[in-house]
Chains A and B, each alone.
Chain A
Amino acid sequence: MTDATIGAGGIEARTELAETGWKRLAMHILVFVIIVGVWELAGVFNQLNDLLLPAPSVIIGKFAEMWLPTFLGGTGRIYYHFFITLWEAVAGFFIGVSIGVSLAVTAAVSPMFRRYLAPYAVAFNVTPGIAVAPLIIAWFGFGLSSKIALATLVCFFAPFINTLTGLLHVDEEASELFRSMRANRQQYFWKLQLPSSMPLFIAGLKLALTGALLGAIVAEFFSASAGVGILMQRFSFKLDIGSALATLLSMSLMGLLFFTVMEILDYRVIFWKRDSRMQAVSKKRKAAWKM
């Protein structure tokens, strides 16, 4: 299904500069320091309007104030909001993935179900999920459940379509091998379809986690009493842009946390995509077999 899925990994392709390791890292840091330095100097010479774009030191100050606990001189107010949003996104993610995967498995097993589901899937995909936000708030109220519901709604589609694609597009030769060995339907599903859907499934999970975070934050914009989204909105409306940008930085942190978790999952689950991991797993299995 190369025509229905797109690869988004171009930046990874062929990035080998001559210098490696420390020198490269040093150059990266240098570029970063120059950018931030110019920005800070602009602040020092009063070229920045604090209502629009405060200097980096201001943003970092606000960031520290948010994150440091009270006994270190900060307010520590971000933790509550941070974990509320984290919880909303993660809960929405798990519900959404369960729905998406069960739909995908049903559709993969039954061509009839797949056929009848198809037009609804298209309609669902073209509607921006977050457009339903006001309805979700009306249905689920102002509490946590509406945020979880929107996160679920926004995130379930990617695992659904990716799992389905992965389950249906198995290697033809492998499929023939299974047939010639007279594999039954269960064996075919568990030993061939499921493993070969894993790379796409994990890719779907990555998109879903980002989507869940997005859904939770958008639902908070509507009406909430806690969460980074509402914090962000309060700061922006008070024109405290420094704090708003510090909140944004905290959201990036949450996003990076999610990204890292997914990378680790990717590394553990799809071991056969990387030679070194593949060898390690093979060795382990061999040792276990000898026993």
Chain B
Amino acid sequence: MSTATEAESGALPGLAPASKGDHAWIVAKHFALFFFLVLLWELGARAGWIDPLMFPAPWGIVKQIGFIYFIQGNVWHHLYITFAEALSGLFVGSLIGIGLATAAALSLRFREYIKPYIIVIEATPRIAVGPIFIAWLGFGFSSKVALAALVCFFGPFVNTLTGLLNIDAEAEELFRSMRATKWQTFWGLRVPNSATILMAGMKLGCASAFGGALVAEFISANEGMGVLMSRYTYVLNMNGAFATLLSITLFAFLLFKFADAVDYYIVFWRSDKLMQRKSKKRQAAFLKSLG
């Protein structure tokens, strides 16, 4: 397994942060472009250049979004189901991934023995196990959680292991020269060191857990966003399918932002502001303990 890298947020590199005044202007230009494109699409649909059965007009999609969210209101239930499946899957998958990674980091022998299996598991398209899981666990909730867990465990696993193993050589030497025990090195050095990259792995896992839950729903289910999407497509209600797809994007994005926020507070030493606040608090606590 050589180095495979992946962008975790999709934020493009090489974008200089703009100043506050510039920022509003840039956002305005973005919106202008966006509305221009949407307008073009709408006009194209009205003029009959675009087949509405294939690419529905934006206004139709907006109406459909209003319908499924507020008038019929059926989307909430499906959203809840898919979220529950994906998040439970993420929970189970990252527990397994982090557990395996911790064991592998602590024992060289274990690491050596699981390596070939990990390579095979990585090479297998794990989502393909979907039908087997459905045969094993039935058509309900558990088969979706299982597939989400299987698909997502790899990100947290590899990242935790990388974080636990690739520690700063000088810090390690410091721990050694202070005669730190193995556990002190583990908790005091390895675990904090892995926090950053572990969170990145969780974010990757989050995205793939969603994919796993959706695919399991596609294969067979009676509720969830995947089912909603297939149903709309099969009756060629393209407005509905696009509205569902946009909902998936929106809520996946919100989840991503939430993960970013959690990341920000857990890995506090990456942000100067948080770092200083935390340091001050610790200092105060320390002074208090001195009396």
Chain A residues with CB under 8 Å of chain B are 1, 4-15, 17, 24, 27-28, 31, 51-52, 107-108, 111, 114-119, 121-135, 137-139, 157-158, 161-162, 164-165, 168-169, 199-200, 203-204, 206-207, 210, 213-214, 217-218, 221-222, 228-229, 232-233, 235-237, 239, 241, 244-245, 248, 251-252, 255-256, 258-259, 263, 266
Contacts of B33 in A (CB 8 A): 116
Q: How many residues of B contact A (CB 8 A)?
A: 82
Contacts of A27 in B (CB 8 A): 113
Task: Determine which of B4, B10, B124 lies in contact with A251 in the assembled complex, contact meaning CB atoms within 8 Å.
Answer: B124
Question: How far does the alpha carbon of A213 sit from the alpha carbon of B207 in the complex, in Å?
Answer: 18
Per-residue contact bits, chain B 54-65, to A (CB 8 Å; 1 contact, 0 not)? 100000000000
Question: How far does the alpha carbon of A52 sit from the alpha carbon of B284 in the complex, in Å?
Answer: 59
Contacts of B207 in A (CB 8 A): 125-126, 128
Contacts of A4 in B (CB 8 A): 7-9, 11, 13
Is B287 interfacial (CB-CB < 8 Å)?
Answer: no
Is B252 interfacial (CB-CB < 8 Å)?
Answer: yes
Task: Determine which of B6, B12, B101 lies in contact with A5 in the assembled complex, contact meaning CB atoms within 8 Å.
Answer: B6
Q: How far is the CB of A22 from chain B (nearest CB, A)?
A: 15
Knowing A118-B12, A236-B134, A251-B124 are in contact, say whether A9-B4 is a contact too (CB < 8 A): yes
**Segment at the interface with A among B40-48, B72-80, B160-168, B175-183:** B160-168
The reply to whether A123 and B249 form a contact with Cβ atoms under 8 Å apart is yes
The reply to whether A135 and B233 form a contact with Cβ atoms under 8 Å apart is yes
Contacts A122-B11, A263-B2 known; list 19 others, CB within 8 Å. A9-B2, A12-B1, A12-B2, A28-B113, A51-B135, A114-B15, A116-B33, A119-B30, A122-B9, A125-B207, A131-B229, A134-B230, A161-B10, A169-B14, A200-B5, A210-B125, A213-B125, A244-B131, A255-B124
The interface centre, meaning the residue of A117, A131, A203 with most chain B CB atoms within 10 A of its CB, is A131
Is B187 interfacial (CB-CB < 8 Å)?
Answer: no
The reply to whether B7 and A125 form a contact with Cβ atoms under 8 Å apart is yes
Question: How far does the alpha carbon of A157 sit from the alpha carbon of B6 in the complex, in Å?
Answer: 9
Contacts of A24 in B (CB 8 A): 112
Q: How far is the CB of A8 from chain B (nearest CB, A)?
A: 4
Query: Could you write out 18 A-B pairs with CB less than 8 Å apart?
Result: A5-B8, A7-B197, A9-B2, A9-B162, A12-B2, A15-B112, A27-B113, A108-B14, A122-B253, A125-B10, A135-B233, A135-B242, A137-B233, A164-B13, A203-B5, A222-B230, A228-B128, A232-B128
The reply to whether A221 and B130 form a contact with Cβ atoms under 8 Å apart is yes
Contacts of B159 in A (CB 8 A): 6, 8, 10
Contacts of A200 in B (CB 8 A): 5
Contacts of A6 in B (CB 8 A): 5-6, 8, 159, 197, 200-201, 204
The reply to whether B5 and A252 form a contact with Cβ atoms under 8 Å apart is no
Task: Determine which of B7, B14, B30, B122 lies in contact with A111 in the assembled complex, contact meaning CB atoms within 8 Å.
Answer: B14
Contacts of B113 in A (CB 8 A): 27-28, 31
Contacts of B234 in A (CB 8 A): 134
Q: How far is the CB of A259 from chain B (nearest CB, A)?
A: 5
Chain B residues with CB under 8 Å of chain A are 1-15, 26, 30, 33, 54, 101, 104, 108-109, 111-113, 115-116, 118-120, 122-125, 127-132, 134-136, 158-166, 197, 200-201, 204, 207-208, 210-211, 214-215, 218-219, 225-226, 229-230, 232-234, 236, 238, 241-242, 245, 248-249, 252-253, 256
Q: How far is the CB of B203 from chain A (nearest CB, A)?
A: 9
Contacts of B134 in A (CB 8 A): 236
The reply to whether B253 and A131 form a contact with Cβ atoms under 8 Å apart is no
The interface centre, meaning the residue of B8, B109, B131, B200 with most chain A CB atoms within 10 A of its CB, is B131
The binding surface of chain A is classed by DSSP as helix
Contacts of A222 in B (CB 8 A): 218, 230
Task: Determine which of A7, A9, A127 lies in contact with B252 in the assembled complex, contact meaning CB atoms within 8 Å.
Answer: A127
Q: How far is the CB of B175 from chain A (nearest CB, A)?
A: 16
The reply to whether B125 and A241 form a contact with Cβ atoms under 8 Å apart is no
Knowing A10-B159, A126-B256, A164-B12 are in contact, say whether A131-B248 is a contact too (CB < 8 A): yes
Task: Determine which of B131, B166, B241 lies in contact with A13 in the assembled complex, contact meaning CB atoms within 8 Å.
Answer: B166
Task: Determine which of B54, B118, B123, B124 lies in contact with A139 in the assembled complex, contact meaning CB atoms within 8 Å.
Answer: B54
Question: How far does the alpha carbon of A157 sit from the alpha carbon of B165 in the complex, in Å?
Answer: 29
Contacts of A125 in B (CB 8 A): 7, 9-10, 207
Q: How far is the CB of A227 from chain B (nearest CB, A)?
A: 11
Question: How far does the alpha carbon of A29 sit from the alpha carbon of B7 in the complex, in Å?
Answer: 36
Knowing A6-B201, A11-B104, A12-B2 are in contact, say whether A241-B12 is a contact too (CB < 8 A): no
